Amino acid sequence: MARAKLRTPTPADDLRTGADAPNPVWFKPVMFGFMLLGLAWIIVFYVSQGTLPIPDLQSWNILIGFGIAFVGFLMTTRWR
């Protein structure tokens, strides 16, 4: 009997499943949206001299803006 020859997989055989799958269409706009929203939050806070976006939070508005932008930057680690 002849032995079955094992074939090594080629890049063409890659079905892009699991971690190698490309991101959905909405991923990039949401990622950049978070980064821009965080930047806009901080700019509005500085331009309004602390009266906007949420006056009761005072300087915590800066942390909120950086937090929103940080979510966008974290999303860049998953961008394919």
Of 7 and 54, which is predicted with more confidence? 54
Q: Within a domain: residue 15?
A: no
Q: Within a domain: residue 18?
A: no
Q: 78, 31 in Cβ contact below 8 A?
A: no
Q: Within a domain: residue 16?
A: no
Torsion from C-alpha of 79, 35, 24, 80, nearest 10 degrees: -10
pLDDT, tens only, 48-65: 999 999 999 999 999 999
Q: 31, 76 in Cβ contact below 8 A?
A: yes
Q: Within a domain: residue 42?
A: yes
Q: What is the pLDDT of residue 18?
A: 65
Instruction: Report the candidate in 79, 75, 78, 68 with the shortest Cα–Cα distance to residue 31.
Output: 75
pLDDT, tens only, 9-31: 666 655 666 667 899 999 999 99
Work out the angle at residue 23's Cα, subtended by the Cα atoms of residues 32 and 64, and round it to the nearest 5 degrees: 30
Q: Within a domain: residue 50?
A: yes
Q: Check whether 8 has a pLDDT greater than 60.
A: yes
Q: Within a domain: residue 57?
A: yes
Domain holding 69, by residue range, is 26-78
Mean pLDDT over each residue of the chain, to the nearest integer: 88
Q: Within a domain: residue 37?
A: yes
Q: Within a domain: residue 66?
A: yes
- The domain total for the chain is 1
